[in-house]
Amino acid sequence: MAEARAAAKAPMDGVRDWYDGVTFREAIAAGLFDTASCMALGISMDGFEVWRQRGCQGCPFVATVLSVHPGERVKNVAQIIPAVTPGPRQPVDVESFLHPVAKELDEMAKVIDGIKVAGRDGTSTLHVHVLQFTADMPGGDKLLNAKVHNGQCPGRFREFCGVRVK
């Protein structure tokens, strides 16, 4: 994370990784990644069909730890699957699968004082920020609650607003 913060403060001379992007640079300027115990996540979702004849489908949510080296990011240790929707079809309400995960994380945060980080003494408080959501078009529409639109700009690219909490 220290290397990513340093790269984001340097003048931009191309895009090599997520920390060269405008989103991360704005987050650095806002003070969101101010310590070494801050992590960046990317969350993706995509549907899959297991057996076409039976119509069994699912939709896994995969959280990728972006704060590690790109070579480590694609390994299983940096990929977390918080939820998989069951099917015979894709879910109508995607948020109903994300709310229990968020609730469980909130409950864990209340009882865990800190975590042990390799190479550091004592325990640390970990701060996690989701920097990106990626999905296929049907999944993205469900995440954004997008409706059918016949205009040139269907409104899929929306800015998400958030509130920083202590």
Residues 20 and 49 in one domain: no
pLDDT of residue 156: 55
56 has which bridge partners? 51
pLDDT of residue 90: 66
Residues 20 and 43 in one domain: no
Work out the angle between the directed axes of helices 22-29 and 2-9 (0-180°, nearest 10).
Answer: 100
Residues 123 and 53 in one domain: yes
pLDDT of residue 155: 54
- Residue 10 sits in which domain range? 1-34
3-state secondary structure of 53: coil
Residues 29 and 59 in one domain: no
Verdict on whether the full-model pTM lies above 0.85: no
Q: Where would I find the beta strands (DSSP E) of the chain?
A: 38-45, 48-51, 56-65, 79-85, 115-116, 123-124, 127-135
Residue type, 52: R
CA 24 to chain centre: 13
pLDDT of residue 67: 81
pLDDT of residue 161: 64
Residues 107 and 42 in one domain: yes
Residues 4 and 65 in one domain: no
* Domains: count for the chain: 2
pLDDT of residue 26: 86
| Average pLDDT along the chain, 166 residues, taken 10 residues at a time | 80 78 85 83 81 72 84 83 76 76 83 78 82 77 63 56 68
Pairing of strands 127-135, 38-45: parallel
| 16 found inside a domain | yes
